[in-house]
Chain A
Amino acid sequence: EDKVVQSPLSLVVHEGDTVTLNCSYEVTNFRSLLWYKQEKKAPTFLFMLTSSGIEKKSGRLSSILDKKELFSILNITATQTGDSAVYLCAVSSEKLVFGKGTKLTVNP
């Protein structure tokens, strides 16, 4: 059965810290890995990764995929209180399979 595991499940940091969120997966027919940020209701799209070793960046956020070791990381540098959210990792195969998410709390 397809499986996505995220770690840690929760994380509390201070503003300005750098955090790394992890996502490992076991799926058949891998198509892509996606990261989402969920603050209240709708998860908002961050990144889609399909190729190993190519870093995707958007401002202070970056992500990379390792298809050999079957994992991805999401880095957030110089965290701000507005980064507080649940970060979801999902893998697209025949369907979209989500991890349980990492709840990030950034304290001022």
Chain B
Amino acid sequence: KAGVTQTPRYLIKTRGQQVTLSCSPISGHRSVSWYQQTPGQGLQFLFEYFSETQRNKGNFPGRFSGRQFSNSRSEMNVSTLELGDSALYLCASSLAAGIGYTFGSGTRLTVV
């Protein structure tokens, strides 16, 4: 079966712009979570959605937001981009929270 699909794979944006990243989970998985990975901070939890509802949120500013659609696909939006937002953004899907997570290949965002 198809894995977790993230698009786009790479993105270059200018400071102040906004960006939307997409994640399609494994078929049947209703939980989608998002993570930011940087060399200094490692993998940090952004938020998790289950059945279109945000169930948990990490310690990120309000510029980071997300949503989940009825088909479980999820989008993450970052507004007013800053240089420090440059990172690998990973999403993971699972049947439910706490049960094995499968990761996508990520979106590499570079802010210049």
Contact = CB atoms under 8 A, between A and B. Distances in A.
Interface of A: 31-32, 34, 36, 41-45, 48, 88, 90, 92, 94-101
A45 B79 CA distance: 31
B42 A95 contact: no
Interface residues of B, number: 23
A32 B96 CA distance: 12
A99 B43 CA distance: 8
Interface of B: 4, 33, 35, 42-45, 48, 56, 58, 88, 90, 92, 97-106
Describe B's contact surface by its main secondary structure: strand
B33 A96 contact: yes
Closest 9 CB pairs of A and B: A31-B98, A98-B43, A100-B42, A92-B98, A41-B105, A42-B103, A42-B105, A95-B56, A95-B45
Contacts of A41: 88, 90, 105-106
B7 to A, nearest CB: 13
B19 to A, nearest CB: 18
A32 B103 CA distance: 17
Contacts of A101: 42-43
9 contacts: A43-B43, A45-B100, A90-B43, A92-B97, A95-B33, A96-B101, A98-B42, A98-B43, A100-B42
